[in-house]
């Protein structure tokens, strides 16, 4: 049996994600954030999220999420507040500075995405890829709820 990793969509998707993440990390290192921290800021931007909902969506270990939140809190980008509906959990909110960085880093990610993807595909192909990935994403998350 011949095995060519490029026949595997998972390999290709993971390789692209790794390249996007590494390039994005390089672009935002001057503001002392990583792609995972930026992703957490984006997830909490103008939305109410508990630590539990964050790690169930991002699929990272609870302790790692706590570490990310601790670091973002030390940088005064987020703050925790007890959930009045469930005193055992915290809701994560962005500070004004956190909201500003969420917007700034999201714009940078879109630029990185265009930089990497438009070098080998048209805007129309990129749109089609986005639509296909979004459909898979929605289906996957719909079945988990």
Q: What is the pLDDT along the chain (145 residues), one digit of tens a residue?
A: 678 888 899 999 999 999 999 999 999 999 999 999 999 999 999 988 888 888 877 777 888 889 999 999 999 999 999 988 888 888 999 999 999 999 999 999 999 999 998 889 998 999 999 999 999 989 987 765 5
Q: Which CATH number among 3.40.50.150, 1.10.10.10, 1.10.390.10, 3.90.870.10 corresponds to the domain 8-144?
A: 1.10.10.10
Residues recorded for the chain: 145
Query: How far is the C-alpha of 4 from the C-alpha of 52, rounded, in Å?
Result: 38
pLDDT digits (tens, 9 = 90+) for 34-68: 999 999 999 999 988 888 888 877 777 888 889 99
Query: How far is the C-alpha of 85 from the C-alpha of 7, rounded, in Å?
Result: 48
């Amino acid at each position: 049996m011949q095995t060519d990793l490029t026949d595997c969509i998972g390999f290709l998707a993971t390789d692209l994600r790794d390249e996007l993440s590494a390039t994005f990390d390089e672009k935002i290192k001057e503001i002392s954030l990583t792609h995972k921290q930026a992703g957490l800021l984006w997830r909490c931007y103008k939305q109410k999220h508990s630590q539990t909902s964050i790690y169930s969506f991002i699929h990272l270990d609870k302790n790692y999420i706590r570490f990310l939140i601790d670091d973002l809190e030390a940088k005064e980008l987020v703050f925790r507040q007890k959930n009045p509906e469930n005193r055992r959990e915290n809701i994560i909110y962005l500070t004004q500075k956190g909201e500003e960085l969420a917007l700034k880093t999201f714009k940078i990610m879109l630029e990185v995405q265009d930089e990497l993807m438009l070098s080998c595909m048209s805007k129309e192909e990129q749109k089609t890829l986005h639509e296909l990935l979004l459909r898979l994403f929605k289906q996957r998350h719909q079945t988990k709820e």
